Amino acid sequence: MKYVTANCGAVAVGLAFGPIVPEFVSAKPGLIDYVEIPFEQLRHSPESGSIQETVPVILHCASMSVAGFVPPGDGILKAIEREAERTKTPWIGEHLAFITAEPIEDDRTQPTSLTYTVCPQMSEETVERVATNMASLQKHFNVPLILENSPQYFDVPGSSLSMVDFVSAVVERCQVGLLLDLTHFLISMLNTKKDPMSEIDRLPLEKVVEVHISGLNVQSGVAWDDHAEPAPPLVFDLFERVMARVRPKAVTLEYNWSPQFPESTLVKHLDRVREIVRN
Amino acid sequence: MIASRVHAIVAAGLENPELLARWKQEPESLRAYGLDPAMFDLDAIWKFAGLSAKVKHNGLRFDLPLTFRFLSLNGLEIEVFGSYASHKARAGIRYAPTAEGRIVELVDFLRDWLDFDKTEHSLLWDLIRHEAALAQLCKRTPSPRRVRVPHIAGDVILHQMTCDPRVLGKLLRQKSFDPSRVQRRVVHLCYWNPGDRGEICILELNELGYHLLSLVDGKRALADFNRLLGGKTRISKKLMDAFGELARVGVICVHPRKSAANK
């Protein structure tokens, strides 16, 4: 098994696990430093963990509902704990979002469980809730949890903070590392009509541990996350802006939705990331 | 506005988009949950349900790559999958557990949902049936049959298209796609798995060949076909020629195949 090793000052470049990754890793050994794999993938298809025989793994997660009001079950937490220990991941990236919520009908005892994380209400109340949840969740793991900014597709009622202010408040309140998803960030800026280039400077970039890069598309009047599309130039502009100020530990390209994602684009974007990291 | 309550409403609407439709019709019903309906952009939440449904169907991209590309290039993904999520919620049915099942269900949904007066919708219908036929036939292993009446040699799926989806596929693979460049014409296609060649053939048929093939069931004799097509006692030359052509290509057998008989 391969494990991520501390490499002082070097920025590791990796790929999010997806249908093209196992073949790509075999065909081009050494081109990437790690694969980021979701806990949920390992849980439902344990065989996908064999990728770690070829390349180190960083664990990602979407099950802890960090910004929610329904805590994950002990079974889930134990399973994440096991995967964190087995993979020897240097950290666990989790969404600053919720994936479960209380039932709306009083006679329903089961919470509503979704399959996709949702941007929470961005308010002081949620910041406090995230702090409480993080304090409780972090105890389960020997490695740090870091939080990934959500894409904002609609105004969540009761929100009193902008995306940048919310993320900043959470990072400040929880003293937690940031998984800065640049595409989520750009989507949020486009959907809330804010200038991404000036807003990115307001984020606590010194807390960025890992960066995510993926594609987006605009449909039905909204910008959407799209891991089947290559990142647009503006995402790379934002990446350059971030790299001018900080050195994250890892940069992950998330091109993991389509088995037809062009290998030439993948290689080109890996080169582009490495070039920006070098400069 | 209490965050946990807001999350509960958003989650319930995403899980069951039918609720979103209900709340849209009766906004005041949201007040029963202690929430101001004016604060909820229900259309935006509905679109997000579409994204979520789309992501759930990423596994279909193996078999339907061009369909997904077409949906993306024409900005139809959110609309299609949002409507599909609503349809499923209305029917109270979960998505099928397998990719094969999900393709069948998606095609069934689109058959009713698409507006065939819209060019993009018609092209999408052609494309998804094309890719679904190829995917379905690849997974089937037809067994040889021994009957003395005309029967299919292998397995076929027949589709009448409004364009040639192979040409549409080529255009979609180009850097920029312009739907107006797709030549619209009626195309009768037969997707054929001969069973012993390890590949799927696509035959373009004339109208008579297409309809004859759709009637070949391994039970009707030539005389039955003749009667079905309004012939009298003598089998018409046109019918014989059409059958002869299909048999020459190999897609039907008029007599039991020797190879099958020897097995």
- Give the amino acid at B103: I
ipTM beyond 0.90? yes
- Give the amino acid at A196: P
Answer whether residue A126 is part of any domain. Answer: yes
B186-236: per-residue pLDDT in tens?
A: 999 999 999 876 789 999 999 999 999 999 999 999 889 888 888 877 888
A262 lies within 8 A of chain B by CB = no
Answer whether residue A174 is part of any domain. Answer: yes
pLDDT at position B261, please?
A: 38
Beta-ladder partners of A118: A98
Which positions in chain A touch B3 (Cβ < 8 Å)? 69, 120-121, 123, 125-126, 129, 158
Report the C-alpha gap between B39 and B19 in whole angstroms.
16
Report the C-alpha gap between B92 and B75 in whole angstroms.
27
| Strands annotated E in chain A | 12-16, 34-38, 57-61, 92-95, 98-101, 112-118, 145-148, 177-181, 208-213, 215-219, 222-226, 250-253
Answer whether residue A209 is part of any domain. Answer: yes
CA B84 centroid distance within chain: 14
CB pairs under 8 A between A and B: 121
Answer whether residue A2 is part of any domain. Answer: no
Residues spanned by the domain of A196: 12-278
pLDDT at position B19, please?
A: 95
- State the alpha helices, DSSP H only, in chain A: 21-27, 39-44, 74-87, 124-138, 163-174, 182-191, 196-200, 233-243, 263-278
Measured in angstroms, the CA of B84 and the nearest CA of chain A are apart by: 15
Report the C-alpha gap between A111 and A114 in whole angstroms.
10
Tokens describing residue B257: 């195949």
> Phi and psi dihedrals of A37, rounded to 5?
-125, 135
Answer whether residue A4 is part of any domain. Answer: no
| Nearest CB neighbour to A154, from listed B7, B11, B45 | B45
**What stretches in chain B show pLDDT beneath 70?**
197, 255-263
Question: Which A-chain residues 137-196 have CB contacts (< 8 A) with chain B?
Answer: 153-158
Domain count within chain A: 1
Residues of chain B in Cβ contact (below 8 Å) with chain A: 1-12, 14-15, 33, 35-36, 39-41, 44-45, 47-48, 50-52, 55-56, 58, 61-62, 65, 68-69, 72, 75-79, 82
| Strands annotated E in B206-256 | 252-253
Answer whether residue A41 is part of any domain. Answer: yes
Answer whether residue A157 is part of any domain. Answer: yes
pLDDT at position A107, please?
A: 67
Taking CB atoms and an 8 Å limit, are B44 and A229 in contact across chains? no
The ranges assigned to domains in chain B are: 1-112, 114-263
**What stretches in chain A show pLDDT beneath 50?**
none
Contact between residue A164 and residue A134 where contact means Cβ atoms under 8 Å apart:
no
Candidates B218, B193, B190; CA nearest to B206 is B190
pLDDT at position B254, please?
A: 82
B263 C-beta neighbours (distance < 10 Å), count: 9
A153: domain CATH number is 3.20.20.150
Measured in angstroms, the CA of A94 and the nearest CA of chain B are apart by: 18
Answer whether residue A260 is part of any domain. Answer: yes
pLDDT at position B3, please?
A: 96
Report the C-alpha gap between B168 and B126 in whole angstroms.
9
**Would you give the DSSP letter of residue A149?**
P
- Surface-to-core class of residue B104, CB atoms within 10 Å of its CB (0-12 exposed, 13-18 middle, 19+ buried): middle
Report the C-alpha gap between B76 and B54 in whole angstroms.
11
Give the sign of the dihedral formed by CA A172, CA A174, CA A175, CA A181. negative
Interface probe, candidates B6, B7, B10, chain A, greatest A C-beta count within 10 A: B7
Pairing relationship of beta strands A215-219 and A222-226 according to DSSP bridges: antiparallel
